[in-house]
Structure 1
């Protein structure tokens, strides 16, 4: 079973659909799981208690968890000096601490089987230092640092930990960002084009393939940086 956070929409939903198409058992996690066409559970990853309850529920049902995708995340494009403290806190709490909480609670479910793969999500804004995304980039830079160190901690248990850092992908996270702004970001990528959620799902599929077992602690940029 692969646990996917942010499974109700955007990249999380696209990843779930790709895995299901490959006959992989998926368990979706989101703040709203109404109408999900696959098993799931409501959970706000920014809450340590809710993530702990999620892990306990999976353990109780005897789930054999072999993978985790931390796709849940929020963004706000604004200058740092004009970003309210509550917004900054929510971004860091969800993107960075939410990822850490899920890894802390779900990884132990893999350790008993001594196999697994964890995929975290960053953003190309970290590598490019994008103007107006400093708080968001800071939260995701933390995810990248955590990924590298956590990969070393998990190596002895045959659990790989990697990170995918997309450029602008056509999801709800881009709401409020103009096509001109998106174009400027895309132009800075090595491959200057806007990719679809399917391109991200391709990388997820690759990282769950046994042939990529030599990769851990890596940050893969969709579009290149």
Structure 2
């Protein structure tokens, strides 16, 4: 069984679809499960009680958890000085705190079974220090720092923790971003092209697989930096 947050849209939904196609049982976690074409549990990752209830529900299934993919996230492309207080709080609470809650509260399931993998989503905006994304990048830089340390904390239990940091991929998060702006970002990558949802799904499959058993505490930047 594989758990995926942010399952109702964007990369989370794409990951769910890919994993189901390869025969996995996937449980999608989302604030609303209305309209999901696969199994789902309502869960707001920014709310501790909601994540705790979701973890209890999963535990009752009594089925091993192969991996948890933390794809839930929000974005806001603003200069720091023009980002209002509520947006700052929303970015940090959802992207960073939400990821911590999910790792913290679902970890006991993986630790007891002494195997499994966490895959947390960051952004290439961290490594590239993209202008106009300072608060968003800060929330995701926290995810990367947390993941590196958390990987050491769970390593003795044969549990791995890695991050995937996508570049600009056309999802709801990029609503309003022009092709010119996207090209400006991709020009800073090692591989200077825009990647697709499938490219991210490929990396998720890799990190879940035992062939990646030597990887933990790493961040894979899509496109390279």
* TM-score class, shorter: over 0.9
Mapping of residues 100-115 of structure 1, within 5 Å: 100-115=100-115
C-alpha distance in structure 2 between counterparts of 1:5 and 1:190, whole Å: 29
Unpaired runs of at least 5, structure 2 = none
- What is the CA–CA distance in structure 2 between the aligned matches of 1:114 and 1:37, rounded to whole Å? 31
Q: Distance in 1 between matches of 2:119 and 2:28?
A: 15
Instruction: Report how many residues are paired.
Output: 225
After TM superposition, give the deviation of residue 177 of structure 1 in Å.
1.1
Q: Deviations over 1:83-113 (max 9, x none)?
A: 0011000000000000000000111111111
- The Cα of 1:61 is off from its aligned counterpart by 2.7
**Partner of 2:181 in structure 1?**
181
Using the TM superposition, give the Cα deviation of residue 131 of structure 1 relative to its aligned residue in structure 2, in angstroms. Answer: 0.5
Report the CA distance between 1:64 and its aligned residue.
2.0
Query: What is the TM-score normalised by the length of structure 1?
Result: 0.98
The 5-angstrom pairing of residues 185-200 of structure 1 reads: 185-200=185-200
Unaligned runs of 5+ in 1: none
TM-score by length of 2: 0.98
Aligned partners of 2:138, 2:168: CA distance in 1, in Å? 17
My pick for the range that moved more, 33-42 or 10-19, is 33-42
Q: Which residue of 1 aligns with 2:125?
A: 125
Partners in 2 of 1:25 and 1:87 — Cα distance? 35
Could you list the structure 1 runs, at least 4 aligned residues long, displaced by more than 3 angstroms after superposition.
none
Match of 2:167 in 1: 167
Other-structure match for 1:78? 78
Q: Which residue of structure 2 aligns with residue 223 of structure 1?
A: 223
Give the aligned partner of residue 56 of structure 1: 56
> Does 2:74 match 1:65?
no
Q: Does residue 20 of the first structure (1) align with residue 20 of the second (2)? A: yes
Q: Is the 8 A contact 2:66 2:208 kept in 1?
A: no
- TM-superposed CA distance for 1:149, in Å, is 0.1
Quote the Cα distance in structure 1 between the aligned partners of 2:197 and 2:31. Answer: 20
Give the drift of 1:63: 3.2
Which digits, 9 at most, give the CA deviation of each residue in 1:46-91, with x for residues without a partner?
Answer: 0011000100111123232221000000000001001001100000
